[in-house]
Amino acid sequence: MADKKKIAILTSGGDAPGMNAAIRAVVRSALYFDMEVFGVRDGYLGLMQDEIEQLSAGDVGDIIHRGGTMLGTARLPEFATDPAVRQKCYENLRAHGIEGLVVCGGDGSYRGANLVQHEGGINVIGLPGTIDNDLAYTDYTIGFDTAVNTCVDSINKLRDTMASHGRVSVVDVMGRGCGDIAVHSGIAAGAEAILIPEIKKTDNQWLDYIVQKLRTSFARGKKYGIIVMAEGVYAAPKMHHFTADYIASWLNANSETVGRRVDARGCVIGHVQRGGSPTASDRILSARMGEKAVDLLRENQGGLCVGVVKNRIVAVEIDKALSMKRRVDKHLIELADILAR
């Protein structure tokens, strides 16, 4: 009887809710197709240290609803810079007889995956595990929907207290260079203004924009305000001072521009956005993508990453995926603008 095909999965880089659901989907799909499946601890670090263990169907029980990743994740900069580290990783995979690897992570993890494919000669399939939604080849990444829901939940709570006191909340959300968490949570939470890095404005232009939005909103009788800013706006070159607290203080000091007294507060939602039980949408996305990854490895395909485009699961070359430039959904931004009038 021929040996069973062996594949492995690792999670790498920043964690995202839904990674566990993806691990479960890969393991259970692989077992369904009579493969052996291994879990690698702590991303590329575990590959280097040979922390690779076979997983059973039971090992991935009771994780579908949990945030984080049962395999752990880590950052190993030497994987990018030291060929000897990478060779050790490839040797460890080969020593276990592993022919295929699923890498769940963001763009950095994908760059590593590409090396495993082209340098290590082991078939690799990427799964987009990142809350940031910053991979251009896919409409959604695993964890994005959960992060948006966490933001909306936080903003709902802020809204209660802002409404009671007639205050303005300036809310900083994650996403690195991508404004999708801000746009989606801003629309879902009914924000007056949404600041994203894809729209290039100086800090003064952003402040003008916020003032105009608040004036409009107060003029129709609203007593409080919600401003959502993507962290990438603050991280933009020369705008390091442009934090949620800075904007709030500026509004307080320049109330006359808004036309009424403003009591504004900055709020950074922070790392809670990375945690929590994944939403149904993220779990289903993980299930569909995990199954697809196993299908591709069964067909001896590699160097691909799985995505979802117009609700269809697709596979794209990792090289191509990494070179694609993300386009911001202009209509969503216009819609936010229309609805906040």
Q: Decide if 143 contacts 19 (C-beta within 8 A).
A: yes
The strand ranges marked E within 77-182 are: 100-105, 123-128, 168-173
Q: What residues contact 31, with CB distance under 8 A and at least 6 apart?
A: 37, 56, 57
Identity of the residue, 150 or 243, whose beta carbon is nearer to ligand ADP in the bound complex: 150
- Is there a catalytic annotation at residue 132? yes
Return d(Cα 182, Cα 180) in angstroms, integer: 5
CB of 223 to ligand ADP, least distance (A): 40
Residue 252, judged by CB atoms within 10 A of its CB (0-12, 13-18, 19+), counts as: middle
Site residues (CB under 6 A) for ligand ADP?
A: 12-14, 44, 75-77, 79-80, 105-109, 111-112, 115, 130
Angstrom distances, CA of residue 76 to CA of 53, 80, 123, 230, 332: 20, 8, 21, 27, 37
Identity of the residue, 14 or 232, whose beta carbon is nearer to ligand ADP in the bound complex: 14
3-state secondary structure of 133: coil
CB of 328 to ligand ADP, least distance (A): 19
CB of 321 to ligand ADP, least distance (A): 13
Identity of the residue, 71 or 171, whose beta carbon is nearer to ligand ADP in the bound complex: 71
| Side-chain half-sphere CA neighbours of 281 within 13 A | 11
Angle at 30 between CA 26 and CA 34, to 5 degrees: 170
Q: Which of 15, 107, 132, 145 is catalytic?
A: 132
Identity of the residue, 44 or 250, whose beta carbon is nearer to ligand ADP in the bound complex: 44
Return d(Cα 123, Cα 295) in angstroms, integer: 12
3-state secondary structure of 128: strand
CB of 155 to ligand ADP, least distance (A): 25
Identity of the residue, 82 or 208, whose beta carbon is nearer to ligand ADP in the bound complex: 82
CB of 178 to ligand ADP, least distance (A): 12
Active site residues: 132
